[in-house]
Amino acid sequence: MFLALLELKAARGRFLLMGSVVVLVAALVGIVAGFTTGLGDDTVSALRRLPATHIAFAAGSDSDQFARGLIDDRTASGWSREERTEATPLGISLTRGTTNRGTEVDLAAFGVEPGAFTDPGADAGTPLDAARPSGVVVSRQLVTEGVRIGDTLTIDRLGITLDVVGTTGRSSYGHVPVAYVTTDTWRGIRFTAPGTTTLPADLPAQYSAMALRLPDGTDADASALAEADRRHGTATVPLEKAFEAAPGYDGERLTMTSIQTFLFLIAPLVVGAFFAVWTVQRTPELALLRALGASRRRLLGHTLAQAAVVVAAGTAVGAALASAVGLLVGEQVPFSLPATTLTTTMASVALVGLAGSALTLRRVTTVDPMTMLGAAR
């Protein structure tokens, strides 16, 4: 180990160059991981906040189920009568509105039953109330964009007016901030044609899906869920599977995951190429050590120690750089890099980097002590 550290000091220029490459690779992997998590949260954070275990869609809606599928009132009532199951209708629509102060915002209207387990309540102001169907609870992003409690929000082209009664935490769907309304109000947003006025009683009693909360252990009984789906004409999936119904979720994850995969493939190749060249340059020194009695195990430890120092230091600096980028961009872009994600990602970078250095170990162990004798002649 002492000799390994001496070589690091003697050839610090080369090792600093290699360490800089590791820093950049680790930082890039961390930044991509942050964008992957951030984009996912910005697409489905409102769904993640739902205290539901399953989502029941209309049977036959295979893609973009929240936008294309509709659950009728009879199906909703049937699910509500299921034993050991809490069920409540859920409506989701993307729309746009303008406040009475002229602030224009995009929003995802989430229709929920006031007091149901899908009702987020309110961090400030008052929660939704069935006696006040025009109320709306907005997420924190809309507050950042200028929406305030007490504002009147008018849905563009429809003329539906909503009173902002409360605010809740950060929630978004399809990269659009969420506003929670009653299911009756959501039906007005979803089914009212621009330029017309439709009475609430004339609107279709339909919803995007049913949010289900099953007790622990019920998830294992797939046959019971399948039978319930057959009775009600629905297709039930776990909440995590329902994320795929959010617009762009699968495509974004596939793109970002592909970039991460290529970076993980590049890291061991770069580290391995450096240590392969370094080993070739050190062949006479390694041969001398073998001639002086150094064991193969000691030479392996010597090489791995150098690789570990370079990779670990470079990864640590890269992690700090990725975290700094997260602090710099703040909430301006969808970037999220929790400590667990950062630790897991950097550990993976370090492991693949060490795996790359392992490509040179065979040459280290097979160096011939007679090389020094040949070099002397």
189 confidence band (pLDDT: 50, 70, 90): very high
Q: What three-state secondary structure class fits 115?
A: coil
User: Which tens digit of pLDDT belongs to each residue from 124-181?
Assistant: 999 999 999 899 999 999 999 999 999 999 999 888 999 999 999 999 999 999 999 9
Range in 21-35, 139-153, 210-224, 278-292 with the lowest mean pLDDT: 278-292
Find the helix or strand (DSSP H, E) in which 155 lies. Answer: strand 152-155
**Is the pLDDT score of 12 beyond 80?**
no
pLDDT at 7: 64
pLDDT at 377: 46
Sign of CA dihedral 163, 169, 170, 172: negative
375 confidence band (pLDDT: 50, 70, 90): low
236 confidence band (pLDDT: 50, 70, 90): very high
pLDDT at 154: 95
How do strand 135-138 and strand 176-182 relate by DSSP bridges? Answer: antiparallel
User: Which tens digit of pLDDT belongs to each residue from 67-90?
Assistant: 888 999 999 999 999 888 899 999
**Is the pLDDT score of 355 beyond 90?**
no
User: Which tens digit of pLDDT belongs to each residue from 32-68?
Assistant: 999 998 988 899 999 999 999 999 999 887 667 888 8
pLDDT at 273: 82
pTM over 0.75: yes
> Directed axis angle between helix 249-281 and helix 339-357, to 10°?
40
Range in 26-35, 203-212, 302-311 with the lowest mean pLDDT: 302-311
Q: What three-state secondary structure class fits 130?
A: coil
pLDDT at 164: 96
Closest by CA to 107, choosing from 156, 57, 40, 67, is: 156
